[in-house]
Structure 1
């Protein structure tokens, strides 16, 4: 019995420490915010957040070598027919969950109508208009396609393509479509381009057979080395999350104002995220695997807490991969599905952007036709795919959704007060969906993965392969 307790503590110590980091950071932030009459200066907040920033930098430093080596190693070790099936299952799962998230968000915001009740609270409030980048929906979609094919792989590790509109001298009355434009590079990793390169390289190494083995072994070894480094870094996560959360709480002016003015909007998004995470995803998971996902979600507690603390699905990716490996998910599946999911699968962001756009329309008393609601749903889906896996990246793509409804971009300020907190919850849902997707694809591909392994040994009996397939696909 004591041995069992010791084993339980050893397996859950990191998770408990990370949860303690979130709770402790929240408490410290509240205490410091109320410890003096004058608000804390940005420099003082920066000093407190500094250890958390170092933790984030360490995680982000792992992303590129882990991403490239994992994708190439995973694809290269599969046969082409199996990699096609895994890719198809992953994309179908991600597309289905994203569409369901958007539809759920639209139903909730139209039913609850949080913007109608919030308008009175904002009647006497003045806003500072932020400098928001003007953007066209079609430009954002074309940039997404451009980034799939980076012209320079080295440059893709630090920048991605972005279309920038040049403001004319007299912009009044000139539609955005007639503005001049130029392609610039935004200082963030082009994850989509690196994933595409990794997939193509992995396929080519798989086709080369024995000649491609040395290079394939190199990437597989690099992936294993990065996972070892990741295991060192994640033990710093409780401390990093503690300082990140406490600094963010210190920056919040008033929780009372946050709940009072935007409470119904906040609760609408939270309800949507909860229903999608524990309702929609659970139903899809059960229908596909005939098992309930709650045991799997429980084992993902460390990943989810880290996602909440960092508010970045990309930064959480190394921990996600390692956790799924420990859960027994085939590494060939994990190293393909998770990087792709962290890049294109943003269920929480899609739901949030659909709710936010219609909330702002309700707040401005602008009626939306059925066609406009459909346009919001499509744009929110596309915007979520284009959103970077970094904190509050959804605010950038939110402008695209507002443009679809014909709302001014500066209305983003209406939701800024609660966005930092909602960002953490929607990132948690994003990461949970990625992880469940990897688990689902692994379970559906169990028999095929087993056949690949046996065929590689060149000594399996065909009748045994049939039995293995039957056993491993039985759920």
Structure 2
């Protein structure tokens, strides 16, 4: 069996090229917005190329991670550590968001009455606005948007209850059609099936040696494909960012809206910065006693790709490659990061909590401590249930607002700047995934056999 234990070579020059591409893209978009919007085809091609390998890579990487643990009984400790880490960091992110928004109070005295009345008297139902906006921003069809959360209301302004999201979270674990889940990039049921199937294979190592070898070789080939794809990443990322920022500039509404809700925008960024530069690095240092910022620098390609694509699922191949290059045990990256790309949404949870409090402040309905606790719980559950696609947080925001009786129509206050905030919170999500792999890696026995 070939030895693929050596991590792939990590190119710092590529990171500089990607960062330069993002800066150049923003400059072109601001100066020539009508030209910039025509770069969307290049960006879409690059995004599709990344998404194309997500499903097979999730299957092979998770399978390798499970097989690498050897005995199925070894799954318990790292599995519990991964789920526990993701749940704890999501709760911490929500708490950070609530603290920041209560200190900054971005909704107090910043929104004029005319703007509030515009949303209050809108003829369209908020879910219709959401579906159309999300479809336009993410490039998904409205049917695909509806499938992100299957019990979203279609004809009324009632938000789904917490019971609905708990039901959907349970149903998301298993699918009645594995190939259908693959077509729709529903990663969670694929991961559950792969873990169960891989665990079964560990109980019959002699009979399944050929399967293990095939999966290991396929995983190595897919990661090599990712490395080849990243050579054109600066071009693809330039097109992605140019088209999106150019559209915002051409529409002419972004800076006008930002002037109205600039304090909200700043509050969310402050919260994300605290979580990314204080909370997650502190957890990393406590567990591993290593420099967290050196680790963040090693993950820079994945973080820049996350900012560019606004999709943790699309960034998954790059996250796996960077984490392995950063020295995280392969068994941990293969097992933990795909799971994190599906259920770990620290940035999304923080944003949903902050946005709910902002809307409450804007309409003069300060929430009590008890109501804010409900927001915290609901935002945590909604974030876990959000798909790893652009702006899925907007969809699950309905649940958070409905949980404390806030009018759903005022979600329109945050739509104009959400596409940009989505990029920042996705970057935080991806960094949280990589820190999770590093943290959970210490729970995996060093004598565990390698699947490769």
Unaligned runs of 5+ in 2: 1-8, 131-151, 154-159
1:190-229 counterparts in 2 under 5 A?
190-229=186-225
CA drift at 1:143: 1.2
Alpha-carbon distance in structure 1 between the residues aligned to 2:300 and 2:265: 24
Distance 1:157 1:10, change over 3 A: closer
Choose from 148, 151, 173 the match for 1:148.
173
Which structure is higher in RCO with an 8 Å CA cutoff and minimum separation 6? Answer: 2
Alpha-carbon distance in structure 2 between the residues aligned to 1:31 and 1:115: 32
Q: Secondary structure at the match of 2:423?
A: helix
Question: Looking at CA atoms only, which structure, 1 or 2, has the larger radius of gyration?
Answer: 1
CA drift at 1:45: 6.5
Distance 1:10 1:189, change over 3 A: closer
CA drift at 1:117: 2.5
Give the conservation status (yes or no) of the 8 Å contact 1:122–1:261.
Answer: no
1:56 to 2:47 alignment: yes
Give the conservation status (yes or no) of the 8 Å contact 1:244–1:310.
Answer: yes
Give the stretch that moved more between structures: 84-93 or 350-359.
84-93
Distance 1:124 1:415, change over 3 A: closer
Q: Secondary structure at the match of 2:198?
A: helix
Give the conservation status (yes or no) of the 8 Å contact 2:62–2:334.
Answer: yes
Q: Secondary structure at the match of 2:11?
A: helix
CA drift at 1:332: 1.3
Alpha-carbon distance in structure 1 between the residues aligned to 2:210 and 2:176: 27
CA drift at 1:367: 2.7
Alpha-carbon distance in structure 1 between the residues aligned to 2:110 and 2:28: 31
Task: Give the aligned length.
Answer: 406
CA-to-partner distance for each residue in 1:79-131, whole Å, 9 max, x for gaps?
22332221122122111111100011111111211111222375477346450
Give the conservation status (yes or no) of the 8 Å contact 2:68–2:449.
Answer: no
Q: 1:382: which partner in 2?
A: 381
Unaligned runs of 5+ in 1: 1-8, 34-39, 159-187, 457-475
Q: 1:72: which partner in 2?
A: 63
Give the conservation status (yes or no) of the 8 Å contact 1:121–1:261.
Answer: no
Give the conservation status (yes or no) of the 8 Å contact 2:241–2:308.
Answer: yes
Q: 1:230: which partner in 2?
A: 226
Give the conservation status (yes or no) of the 8 Å contact 1:76–1:204.
Answer: no
Q: TM-score, normalising length from structure 2?
A: 0.86
1:45-444 counterparts in 2 under 5 A?
47-78=38-69, 79-120=71-112, 123=115, 126-127=118-119, 129=124, 130=126, 131=128, 132=130, 133-134=152-153, 135-158=160-183, 188-252=184-248, 253-442=252-441, 444=442
Extract structure 1 runs of 4+ deviating beyond 6 A. Answer: none
CA drift at 1:136: 3.0
Alpha-carbon distance in structure 1 between the residues aligned to 2:319 and 2:115: 44
Give the conservation status (yes or no) of the 8 Å contact 1:77–1:206.
Answer: no
